Structure 1
Amino acid sequence: MPRIQLRITGDRDVFDDVINAIHGLDRIEYVEEIDDFGSDIRDDSSSLDLSDDVASRTYTVEIEVPNDKVGERVREVAEETAGTREAAIEFVYPDENEI
């Protein structure tokens, strides 16, 4: 079964809205938040904790779907929901070695 992993940068409310929208779709196998311990670590400490950085955080979620058609619908809904809340969304494609 195809798995979709996505990251959302924004506040917790935006992330929860995206998760709720995905849960509202038919035929979703599971949706699981993934702890991404490296997401809070910045390579450039010169801008660490500036006011622009403090308000948002990156959240990662993994979704399992039965087929590519449902997966495409998940991507559409996630992108639309995050976009209406002006949050950044990134679709993470697994390394071929992990499949």
Structure 2
Amino acid sequence: MPRIQLRITGDRDVFDDVINALHGIDGIERVEEIDDFMNDFRDDSSSQNLSDDMSSKTYTVEVESPRGKLERVREVAEETAGSREAAIEFVDPDENEI
């Protein structure tokens, strides 16, 4: 089953909204939050933990869906995150899975 990972930068409410929207897509097999152990690591420690950096956090979700649904997953996630002004990044699935 093809998988795709999404990284969402925003607050927890935005991330939860995206997960709920993805659960609403017919045929989705699995939507699961993935722990990102590098989330709090910064290359530039001079600005680490400044108030500007602490308002948003990056969350990762992995979605497993039939081949024909991956584009719909992207559309729904992008629309939901974008409406809440959160950044979203798509980590492409393995080339063999598309």
TM-score by length of 2: 0.92
Kindly indicate which of the two structures has a greater share of residues assigned to helix. Answer: 1
Corresponding residue of 2:57: 57
Matched-pair contact (CA < 8 Å) for 2:2–2:93: no
Gaps of 5+ in 1: none
Corresponding residue of 2:9: 9
Q: What is the root-mean-square deviation in Å for CA atoms of aligned residues?
A: 1.5
Identity %: 79
For 2:94 and 2:38, locate their aligned partners in 1 and report how far apart those are by CA, in whole Å.
17
TM-score by length of 1: 0.91
Residue 93 of structure 1: how far off its partner (Å): 2.1
Gaps of 5+ in 2: none
For 1:25 and 1:52, locate their aligned partners in 2 and report how far apart those are by CA, in whole Å.
34
Question: Paired residues, what number?
Answer: 96
For 1:53 and 1:33, locate their aligned partners in 2 and report how far apart those are by CA, in whole Å.
22
Deviation >6 Å, runs of 4+:
none
For 1:93 and 1:36, locate their aligned partners in 2 and report how far apart those are by CA, in whole Å.
17
Within a 5 Å distance, the mapping from 1:83-94 to structure 2 comes to 83-94=82-93
